[in-house]
Amino acid sequence: MAQSSRHVSYVMAMLCLFIANAVTHARRPTTYFVGGQDGWDPVILMDTWARGKTFYAGDILVFKYDDQRSNVVVVNRIGYETCTANEGAVEYSSGNDRIQLHYGYNYFIGTYTPEDCSTGLKMAIKALAPI
């Protein structure tokens, strides 16, 4: 009986250490400045900027742009593919927008002028589950 009790105590202690390690090593959200130093700009193909980066749910995208010449619209997949703001789309227009990624696909387009999105001011990002 004493042997069994020690075994349970050992297992519980190891489990507590494992959980404490997992909690202290949880990933903090990363902040990304979309487009780097050029910002959210139709001159840059935004999908190219996102390529090769690993994003997680909770990460934050900062969109910097001239609010007199551009905007950011969070859309669904169809809105992304057709370059139109779908029903329920959310428009940002401050020129310095912080948008937190949700798990799964996140779609962004620029719609300030009709040609913005069609010339590359759009981006699809898949955010993985947070680790």
With CA atoms as reference, report the closest residue to 39 among 62, 69, 67: 62
DSSP character for 126? Answer: E
- Give the chain's domains with CATH numbers: 28-128 (2.60.40.420)
Confidence at residue 73, expressed as pLDDT on a 0 to 100 scale? 98
What are the backbone angles phi and psi of residue 65, rounded to the nearest 5°? Answer: -165, 170
The number of residues making up the chain comes to 131
Is residue 79 a contact partner of residue 124, using CB atoms and an 8 Å limit? no
pLDDT in the model for residue 8: 56
Report whether 35 contacts 44 (CB < 8 A): yes
In tens digits, the chain (131 residues) has pLDDT values of 555 555 555 555 554 444 444 444 478 999 999 999 999 998 889 989 999 999 999 999 999 999 999 999 999 999 999 999 999 999 999 999 999 999 999 999 999 998 999 999 999 999 999 98
Residue 51: per-residue pLDDT: 94
As a whole-number percent, the residues of the chain with pLDDT over 90 amount to: 74
Secondary structure (DSSP) of 51-73: TT--EETT-EEEEE--TTT--EE
The encoded tokens of residue 26 equal: 């949880």
What is the model's pLDDT at position 64? 97
